[in-house]
């Protein structure tokens, strides 16, 4: 595959949308020019900045599977760019991380995508130490800084998403959103033979509690056609929770835009704000009008009337008005 997926104009538009900030002055005007200067100095710092700003700008969610007349998703690069950057809508894992993959490829990062199996500890649909079929997308990026280092990157795993590149090494705990932590462990899972080991991304809400598996992945590269099949099942099959309920998550940055400190979470009949482990309900959603308003207020998502009407009669619909 050619590394030039998005041209310079689209990359400039993406960087402007997420608010990329140069790490040092380089005497050039455009954000893309500034990023290229930063890449020469420290590409890992650039990767971290891109991931943080992407998470803080582009919501994770599945509104297109509910507020829609067709309820279908496209992973085609231009379609992702139009939806997530130009229309400023939300997207689920293979959309948002797919966009991020296209951007990294276009910026000449050494990156490939692989598939992940989500743990039943997350979905609640089976034993906590077991995993579902492939239904998630993560990226593996190789950084050349005197020697080669590999990092796993994710920008679309809801409330448990990593907020910085994780070095592909075992057991090192890193803070995601204070006080929550994440780590990678190398192990065999119950569905595989003992001879095969995979990477397991684990999280915990604070250092005092046990680790819980979030998803597992290997280092085998997946192709775009693999994700097309995965996305079709995830977005269309009746057993996929994405087809049954509407969720939206947006990360919150501190005042300096240097650290992710919390998140807005829309699920069910309320919007919650989580900051440093403290949770409060900021809006109750009694009607469809409440939810449409909340999507714009907290997530910056503006839906068309045709899209709003598309949820009518579905399992995810809220009452049209209070009784």
Q: Is the pLDDT confidence value at 231 over 60? A: yes
Residues 179 and 300 in one domain: no
> Does 316 fall in a domain?
no
Q: Is the pLDDT of residue 13 over 50?
A: yes
DSSP SS3 for 252: strand
Q: Examine the pLDDT at 24 and tell me if it is beyond 80.
A: no
- Same domain assignment for residues 208 and 268: no
Residue ranges of alpha helices (H) inside the chain are: 8-18, 31-41, 43-57, 77-81, 93-106, 120-123, 224-236, 288-299, 305-309
User: 93 and 25 share a domain?
Assistant: yes
Mean pLDDT, residues 75-88 taken together = 98
The pLDDT value given to residue 4? 77
Cα distances (Å, whole numbers) of residue 13 to 32, 39, 71: 9, 18, 27
Residues 174, 43 share a domain: yes
- Residue 149: phi and psi, rounded to 5, are -130, 140
Mean pLDDT in the chain? 94
Domains identified in the chain, total number: 2
Q: Are residues 160 and 263 in the same domain?
A: no
Question: What residues have CB less than 8 Å from 240, skipping those under 6 apart?
Answer: 135, 233, 234
Domain end position, chosen among 171, 204, 236: 236
C-beta of residue 264 within 8 angstroms of C-beta of residue 57 = no
Confidence of residue 147 (pLDDT cuts 50, 70, 90): confident
List of residues 6+ apart from 315 with CB closer than 8 A: 244, 245
Instruction: State whether 193 and 54 are in the same domain.
Output: yes
Q: How far apart are the first and last CA of the chain?
A: 55
Tell whether 193 and 57 lie within a shared domain. Answer: yes
- Residue 271 pLDDT greater than 70, yes or no: yes
Q: Does 104 have pLDDT greater than 70?
A: yes
Q: Is the pLDDT of residue 195 over 80?
A: no
Residue 319 located in a structural domain: no
28 — pLDDT class (breaks 50, 70, 90): low
The CATH number of residue 51's host domain is 3.30.2140.20
Q: What local confidence, expressed as pLDDT, does residue 127 receive?
A: 80
When pLDDT is cut at 50, 70 and 90, the band that residue 1 belongs to is very low
Q: Could you tell me if 152 and 60 lie in one domain?
A: yes
The band of 292, judged by pLDDT with boundaries at 50, 70 and 90, is very high
Regarding whether 80 and 35 lie in a shared domain, the answer is yes
The answer to the question of residue 49 being in a domain is yes
Domain annotation covers residue 16: yes
Q: What is the mean pLDDT of residues 283-287?
A: 97
Question: Is 2 among the domain residues?
Answer: no
Cα separation, 180 vs 212, in Å, equals: 12
Same domain, residue pair 147 and 230 = yes
pLDDT of 322: 61
Range of the domain at 264: 242-309
Is residue 3 over pLDDT 70?
A: no
Percentage of residues in the chain having pLDDT higher than 90 = 85
DSSP letters of 174-205? EESSTT-EEEEEEE--TTS-TT--EEEEEEES
Q: Is residue 91 part of a domain?
A: yes
pLDDT reading at 111 higher than 50: yes
Whether residue 1 lies inside any domain: the answer is no
Residues 171, 37 share a domain: yes
């Amino acid at each position: 595959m050619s590394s030039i997926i998005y041209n310079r104009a689209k990359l400039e538009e993406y960087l402007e949308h997420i608010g990329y900030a140069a790490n040092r002055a380089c005497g050039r005007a455009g954000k893309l020019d500034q990023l290229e200067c930063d890449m020469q100095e420290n590409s890992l710092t650039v990767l971290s900045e891109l991931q943080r700003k992407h998470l803080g700008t582009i919501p994770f969610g599945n509104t297109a599977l509910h507020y829609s007349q067709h309820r279908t998703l496209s992973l085609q690069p231009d379609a992702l760019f139009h939806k997530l950057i130009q229309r400023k809508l939300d997207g689920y894992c293979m959309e948002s991380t797919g966009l991020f993959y296209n951007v990294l490829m276009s910026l000449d990062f050494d990156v490939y995508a692989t598939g992940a199996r989500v743990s039943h500890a997350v979905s609640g649909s089976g034993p906590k130490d077991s995993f579902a079929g492939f239904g998630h997308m993560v990226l593996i990026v190789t950084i050349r800084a005197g020697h080669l280092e590999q990092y796993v990157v994710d920008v679309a795993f809801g409330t448990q998403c990593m907020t910085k590149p994780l070095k592909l090494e075992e057991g090192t705990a890193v803070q995601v959103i204070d006080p929550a932590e994440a780590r990678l462990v190398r192990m065999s899972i119950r569905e595989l033979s003992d001879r095969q080991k995979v990477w397991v991304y684990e999280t915990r809400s604070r250092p005092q509690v046990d680790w819980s598996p979030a998803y597992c992945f290997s280092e085998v590269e997946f192709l775009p056609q693999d994700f097309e099949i995965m996305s079709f099942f995830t977005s269309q099959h009746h057993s996929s929770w994405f087809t049954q309920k509407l969720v939206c998550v947006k990360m919150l940055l501190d005042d300096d835009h240097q650290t992710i400190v919390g998140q807005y979470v829309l699920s069910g009949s309320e919007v919650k704000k989580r900051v440093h482990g403290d949770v409060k309900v900021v809006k109750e959603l009694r009607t469809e009008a409440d939810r449409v308003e909340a999507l714009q207020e907290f997530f910056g998502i503006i839906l068309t009337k045709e899209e709003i009407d598309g949820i009518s009669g579905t399992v995810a619909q809220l009452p049209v008005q209070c009784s």
